Structure 1
Amino acid sequence: MTGRTGGDLVIETLTALGASTVFGIPGQHALGLFDALSRSRLRYVSSRVENNAAFAADGYSRATGEVGVLFLSTGPGALTSLAGLQEAYSTAVPMLVVASQIPLSGLGARRKGMLHQLDDQKASAQNVTKAQFSVHHPSGIPSAIQDAWAESVTVPQGPVWVEVPQDVLLGEVLVPPVQDALAVPYDHPPRAELVEESVRWLAASDRTAIVAGGGVRRSTHDAQHHLRRVAELLDAPVVCTPGGNTAFPWEHPLSLGSWVEDRHVTDLLEDAEVLLVVGSSLGEVTSNYFTLVPRGRLIQVDAEPRVLESNFPTLGVRADAGQALSALADALTDALPDALPESQAAAPAWHGRTAAQAVAAVNARVAARLDEQDLGRERRFMADLRAAVPAGMQTYWDMTIAAYWGWNCWDARSGQFHSAQGAGGLGYAFPAAIGGALGAGERTLAVAGDGSAMYSIAELAAAVQHGADVTWLIVDDGGYGILREYMEGAFGQATATELHRPDFVALARSFGVPAEEVAVDQVGPALGRTLERKGPAVVVVRTLLRMWSPTHLD
């Protein structure tokens, strides 16, 4: 090929939109795309499995705030990525996926027997992406990429799918080089009448509580600052969901941390006269597995219309979390008397307690409940991790017992807590942490169980190849620990949860990765040693962690 191709148009448009890094794996129909990549300034990060490439692009986006770009090949490659895209879609992570397709002559099943052919590849992505685009002519490539980028960064953010046939990627083009591209997200401020009605409810409430979800963290409109303004104006306790972990400072006297799975916290939320839910669907985990039964009125703010009132009757406010919180804070400042915050702080509105006293009492009851159970190993383990991990480090967690603890008790401080709680698939942590490390240029931590680690063990090669500064902590309990505990609790015995234990240290070293196995009480020093290295490192702890027993209703 001597001239510019459709693949060049893809690369030029991405570069003009501000992309700097792409993730993915080549394939036969995508060769024109990767050939064009070789002529660009874009950094390419290869993975060994497409699902993990999607996780890596997701982790990159979460760490940098940029759009994660993913290149996929046709058929099996595209399908293998879908579980990773489901996590990004359910957690509102902005990504742009460029997938190849069979040649135009084979689209619509007019010609059977083509390698990698699917009857409708785009339909396969429909459940795990915000929108899907197909390009049939080179001149349509820049507009499709630009529109997809704008869609991906519009709240609720998420992955968007663009597919381009093989011959369109390879064909020479007359379109001049793309020099500029603009993708502006659609704005979603709250409607004025909804703000006014919300303020009427909130101003009249003596006991308001706030649930802060992932939408607060994902907002680009300073939502965390405005959340604190609203909480302090209303003297309202705040609990963060797993996705919203770090949205509100844990050391604040109104903070309930992230103990959404604790019945004492659920009791307080039920007792609120008004429950303000921002950036959360009040789904399974946040509603304490649908045991939450609010007795007061609910206001729900979310950028995704289908989330509103999906689980509870609410006053639904379709808006970006930051814009809504800013509007509420401004309106409340005007609506509330100047002395109200101080008088509220001194008023025993929570059954003889101020809001701060009520929060302190709930936090004490949570700690007391844990004290009553034999959880010394688990609590020491989490405390040792927290002490060893720098305050600003980005951490990525697989669906493992340690992550279930982390959802509730991990204070991310000035870093961020990322987990696969959106879709709940296995194998997220390590490839996502690779993407995060390469994006942020800093060491990240991945926490996995032995079951989930096997989903992404091949990415040790990618971590070495790209020099990713990632510490991978593998908690090896010989099986699918959380499923084992669920089954033993429900049926008295576990079935199909036990796994053959590989030698993770030897596996890591075979890739050239420094690795060691340590006792559970030595995890802190072991993690500390990895901070002094460059490149990936693995720490293995063989131990059985258990979940806490929840407080049940009488």
Structure 2
Amino acid sequence: MRNGGDVVVETLVSLGAETVFGVPGQHALGLFDALSRSPLRYVGNRTEVGAAFAADGHARVTGRVTPLLVSTGPGALQTLAGLQEAASASVPVLGIASQIPRAGLGGRRGGYLHELADQRASFRDVVKHTRVVRSASQIPSALAEAWEIALRAPRGPVWVEVPQDVLLGPAGVPPVSASVAVPASVPRAEVVAEAARLLDAAGRPVVLAGGGVVRASAQAELLELASKLRAPVVTTFGGKGAFPWEHPLSAQSWLEDSHTTEFLAAADVLLVVGSGLGELSSNYRTFAPRGTVVQVEADLGKLESNYPALGVHGDARLVLRGLNSLVRARAADGRAEGAVRELLDAVRERLDGQGLALERQVLADVRAAVPDGVESFWDMTILGYWAWSAWPGPMHSAQGAGGLGYAFPAAVGAAAAGGPVLAVSGDGGAMYGLAELATARQHGLAVTWLVVDDGGYGILREYMTDAFGKATGTELARPDFVALAESFGVPATLSTPESLRGDLAKALASGGPHVVVLPALLRMFAPTHLPHLEEL
């Protein structure tokens, strides 16, 4: 009998899904049984939050909506941390959860396993859109609607619930043929023209490029505009890959250094493309522009949400194309390139005075071991914080919502789209994702996990010590990560700073899961502003 579960998977296939992530549960059995009758590839995770992070990682590297299938109540609620990260980073994840039978929805009857009086309410403040379907005939339209909303700017996660009896009940819906078309957000011509006028009149234009440039695939347009304006480009932590790292106009990503903060503030026109100028990009609100800010943003709600600006609402690629057609090309006189060199020399000199040779070498060795084009995922860990500023290419981290445990499950999801993939965690963050070693092993995924073991929550240890003179609650008992990985059937290597480059390169070339453990006490470079000190 063709049932509601079949309609769900048929619709997902019709919309273009190929891989789904999730964890089964009692009320969702009809949905998971239907997977066996579909061409969808199912990657079964070990926890629902791991599945949510995996769907996030897969969506980031493919650029497509990625479905996440879970059960009711506790299973659904465990996805919230992953969906919050997807929302913060504009990642299109489609969460599909089962529900208790329709007769009990809204707490009318009570007594159902996993029952919440209003499960959907738990998700409304996290995702872009929620819906509960109440018949099989609603499923194709509800999923197509959610799919389109997930892709519409700003991209983000969506949530659809299907009651147990709808999943198991007969479906009279004909074979599904669903599709969606998401038009780009077209900017207003008069606003683009005003932005071009301001940039043409600028004596010291600077560009701050955010993740919206990458999501819009607008790298070529940004390079053209920066070259025409002779404008230095700083990339945000989420905008890595928006601009060539070694280009003479690349001021790189040292956003937590006051030299870069001042460099941005001194621009007479600062063009911000695809960034909301939030806490990290503004160096914890210490950025105070003295010139005019022009902000290009596809998310209407982020325009001027943190700083006054000329707000240009639209797709970054379309806006940059419009600007390129209007601004005048300037002669290359070397001034912008010289200003970039002075900035990076000042940052380098500051780092040189802090005794951070080990940290800089470790990050350099990780980069040297990773082939070009290999995706990397980073936890909220000291080496990850270094990577925000110093990693030269695209990278993915949980800096949107800032939760621990993101890197390895997300890398597992990315590896399901094709490996090799690198994940980097501290020992504290690694404890959140250990169960996904079983997922990587079961599916033979080419993901290498670097665990930097410093015996605790390293970045919190530094923050507390700097603020209070001592750290509390940061020191951790932890397992033998090498032995633990091997107990899952995953090869593991105990590395050293001297052997790290070779160990990582070998692991990444192994064709399957591999864990590399580096016992090391790394330090952050001294911040010019201690995050959240005013709240401590």
- Write the mapping of 1:362-401 to structure 2, written as runs, cut at 5 A: 362-401=343-382
TM-score (ref. length: structure 2) = 0.97
Give, in whole Å, the separation in 2 of the partners of 1:532 and 1:311. 44
Give 5+ residue unaligned stretches, structure 2.
531-536
1:133 matched to 2:115? The reply is no
Distance across 2 between alignment mates of 1:285 and 1:177: 48
Aligned-partner residue type, residue 341 of structure 1? R
1:320-335 → structure 2 map (5 Å cutoff) = 320-332=315-327
User: Which of 360, 368, 371 pairs up with 2:341?
Assistant: 360
Match of 1:70 in 2: 68
Higher mean C-alpha displacement, 490-499 vs 193-202: 193-202
Q: 1:534 matched to which residue of 2?
A: 511
Alignment-derived partner of residue 533 in structure 2? none
Which one-letter code corresponds to 1:298 in the other structure? V
* Whole-angstrom CA distance in 1 between matches of 2:136 and 2:375: 40
Instruction: Say which of 402, 421, 425 aligns to 1:424.
Output: 402
Q: Find the aligned partners of 1:228 and 1:424 in 2 and give their Cα distance.
A: 30
- Residue 195 in structure 1 maps to residue 192 in structure 2: yes
Q: Which of 266, 288, 292 lines up with 2:287 in the alignment?
A: 292
Gaps of 5+ in 1: 347-352
Q: Which residue of 2 aligns with 1:341?
A: 330
Of 108, 111, 127, 1:110 maps to: 108
Counterpart of 1:147 in structure 2 is 145
* 1:262 paired residue number: 257
- Mapped to 2, the partners of 1:72 and 1:21 lie a distance apart of 14
Match of 1:517 in 2: 494
Match of 2:466 in 1: 489
User: What residue in structure 1 maps to residue 5 of structure 2?
Assistant: 7
AA aligned opposite 2:275: S
Residue 79 of structure 1 and its aligned partner are, at CA, apart by: 0.3
Give the letter aligned to residue 455 of structure 2.
G
State how far apart, in whole Å, the 1-side matches of 2:14 and 2:54 are.
Answer: 22
CA distance in 2, matches of 1:147, 1:532: 41
Match for residue 476 of structure 1 among 453, 457, 466: 453
For residues 83 and 203 of structure 2, the distance between their equivalents in structure 1, rounded to whole angstroms, comes to 43
Counterpart residue number, 1:281? 276
User: Structure 1 residue 23: deviation in Å?
Assistant: 0.3
Q: Is residue 2:415 matched to residue 1:437?
A: yes
2:43 counterpart SS class: strand
What is residue 203 of structure 2 aligned with on the other side? 206
Name the aligned partner's letter for residue 518 of structure 1: S
Write out per-residue CA displacement over residues 500-527 of structure 1, whole angstroms, 9 at most, x where no aligned residue.
0211011101000101211122211110
CA-to-aligned-CA distance 1:93-112 (integer Å, 9 cap, x gap) = 11111111111000111011
Asked if the contact 1:150–1:186 (Cα under 8 Å) also holds between the matched residues in 2, the reply is no
Secondary structure, counterpart of 2:237 in structure 1: coil
2:84 pairs with 77, 83, 86, which one? 86
Aligned AA (1:210):
V
- Displacement of 1:552 in angstroms is 6.8
3-state SS of paired residue (2:160): strand
CA distance in structure 2 between the partners assigned to 1:32 and 1:324 by the alignment = 46
Over 3 Å counting, the alpha-carbon distance change for 1:409 and 1:115 in structure 2 is same
Could you say what secondary structure the match of 2:10 adopts? Answer: helix
Shift of 1:187: 2.6
Q: Residue 524 of structure 1: SS of its match in structure 2?
A: helix
Displacement of 1:278 after TM fit? 0.8
CA distance in 1, matches of 2:242, 2:84: 23
AA paired with 2:48?
E
Residues 1:81 and 1:552: Cα distance change in structure 2 (over 3 Å): closer
Distance apart, 1:551 and its partner CA: 4.4
Q: Distance in 1 between matches of 2:260 and 2:508?
A: 36
Aligned to 2:35: 37
Matched, 1:303 2:298: yes
1:387-435 superposed Cα distances (whole Å, 9 cap, x missing partner): 11111110000000001000000012xxx31111000111111111111
One-letter identity of the residue aligned with 1:422: G
Paired letter, 2:354: Q
Distance 1:403 1:318 in 2: 32
Measure, in 2, the Cα distance between the counterparts of 1:94 and 1:499. Answer: 35
**Partner residue, 1:242:** 237
The total of aligned residue pairs comes to 530
* Contact 2:284–2:529 (8 Å) recurs in 1: no
1:350 aligned residue = none
Deviation at 1:174, TM superposition (A): 1.0
Name the CA distance, whole Å, in 2 between partners of 1:244 and 1:25: 32
**Structure 1 position 546 matched with structure 2 position 528:** no
Counterpart AA for 1:168 = V
Q: Deviations over 1:21-62 (max 9, x none)?
A: 000000111111111111001000010010010110111111
Give, as a single letter, the amino acid of the residue that structure 2 aligns with 1:191.
Answer: R
Q: Displacement, 1:531? A: 2.6
1:264-319 superposed Cα distances (whole Å, 9 cap, x missing partner): 11111111001111111111111011110100011111111111111111111121
Name the Cα RMSD after superposition: 1.2
User: 1:163 matched to which residue of 2?
Assistant: 161
In structure 1, distance between residues paired with 2:107 and 2:125 = 22
Q: Measure the CA separation in 1 of the matches of 2:414 and 2:463.
A: 32
Instruction: Tell me how far 1:381 sits from its aligned partner.
Output: 0.5
Please tell me whether the aligned partners of residues 398 and 429 of structure 1 are also in contact (alpha carbons under 8 angstroms): yes
Superposed displacement of residue 331, structure 1 = 2.0
Q: CA deviation at 1:65?
A: 1.5
Say which SS state the counterpart of residue 226 (structure 1) adopts.
helix
Maintained 8 Å contact 2:420/2:509:
no
Deviation at 1:186, TM superposition (A): 3.7
The one-letter amino acid of 2:380's match is M
What do the CA deviations read for 1:359-379 (whole angstroms, capped 9, x no partner)?
011011111111111101101
Tell me how far apart the structure 2 counterparts of residues 279 and 120 of structure 1 sit (CA, whole Å). Answer: 35
Q: Distance in 2 between matches of 1:505 and 1:390?
A: 24
The structure 1 segments of at least 4 consecutive aligned residues displaced by more than 4 Å after TM superposition are none
